[in-house]
Amino acid sequence: MKCDHCGAELGLLDKVCPYCGSVNTQSGEHQREQEDYEKRSRKMTESLRGHIAENVPLVCSAILLFLLLTGILTAGYLGEKAYDLVNRVNAQKAADHYEENMQKILQYLDDKDYIGCLAFVQEHDLKYCAAYDELWRVWDLCGYYENAVNAVEELAIHGTDTKRLMAEDDIAFRKVDIATFYEAYGFLTEGQQDGYQKYMDGMKEQVDVILRIYLGLDEEKREKYLAGSENEQAAYLEEVLIDE
């Protein structure tokens, strides 16, 4: 717009002419429109802020819900896979220390410490490492050996004043470990001839000695015992182990 007095160009909101100083009578309406616009703009901003403030807790809660669900699924997946992951890490460690571990294992076996060998294998998770697969039959038999030895020790060694309330049940339960060792020896050594055979034979020899000393089973009696039924085996053990 132009100044009424000097004709200079004026801005819409100029109240006075910057050149001649006279009052701009045309700016009033524009001024009012501008103020009205600013007022509406402020109102809208406040209304928007109000809406946002009202919904923030709900939005935060929804985000938290989503995060917790994701966390639960992740934790569940980790829980399921953790065992495999740990096994894989341990298997890799076992493979990296193959020479050292094999030396120790053979030392145990040469010393006829079969339970020590098994403990070493379990402690280092060697069972899950493919590098040691050649020894799986030995370890398997070590497990049966330990069970058989424990069975005889637990059944045979007790005080004279022992009040064994469930002796028959103990015998019924533990006699299986003795028979199972011989079955395992049979199928683990069947058709196999390798450098580890002597260790498996060593385990059997030791169990034979244990049965002879603590159950009175020499070679002949042992074969008869193992060929007998479960009831016959239980009857023999009850006769030998349960005091009158």
Partner 1 sequence: MNKKMIFRISVCLNVILAIVFMIAMIHAIKQIDRNWENNKTWAFVDILIEDKLKQEEYGWMGAQTRPWRYGAKGNEDNREYYELGEYTDLLFFREIYQAAGELSKAGACEERLKELKVELDGQSGILNKMEQSVEKAQKE
Strand partners, 2: 9
130 sits near partner 1 (criterion: CB under 8 A): no
Of residues 25, 99, 100, 123, which one binds partner 1 by CB under 8 A?
Answer: 123
Q: Tokens 């200079």 appear where?
A: 8
Closest distance between partner 1 and the C-beta of residue 70, in Å? 10
CA atoms within 13 A on the CB side of 229: 2
- 138 contacts 122 by C-beta, under 8 angstroms: no
Query: What is the rounded distance in angstroms from the CA atom of residue 36 to the CA atom of residue 50?
Result: 21
For helices 167-189 and 230-241, the axis angle rounded to 10 degrees is 120
Closest distance between partner 1 and the C-beta of residue 172, in Å? 16
- 137 contacts 121 by C-beta, under 8 angstroms: no
Closest distance between partner 1 and the C-beta of residue 208, in Å? 9
72 sits near partner 1 (criterion: CB under 8 A): yes
Query: What is the rounded distance in angstroms from the CA atom of residue 112 to the CA atom of residue 232?
Result: 31
Cβ closer to partner 1: 57 or 191? 57
DSSP assigned state of 183? H
Cβ closer to partner 1: 194 or 219? 219
Of residues 69, 96, 110, 224, which one binds partner 1 by CB under 8 A?
Answer: 69
Cβ closer to partner 1: 10 or 145? 145
Q: Which of residues 148-167 bind partner 1 (CB under 8 A)?
A: 149-150, 153-164
Could you tell me which of 193, 206, 198, 188 has the C-alpha nearest to residue 136?
188
Q: Which of residues 162-221 bind partner 1 (CB under 8 A)?
A: 162-164, 205-206, 209-210, 212-216
Region of 6-14, 30-38, 107-115, 131-139 interacting with partner 1 (CB under 8 A): 107-115
Region of 5-13, 83-91, 131-139, 180-188 interacting with partner 1 (CB under 8 A): 83-91
Closest distance between partner 1 and the C-beta of residue 228, in Å? 17
Q: How far is CA 231 from CA 182, 211, 235, 238, in A?
A: 17, 18, 6, 10
Of residues 78, 96, 186, 235, which one binds partner 1 by CB under 8 A?
Answer: 78
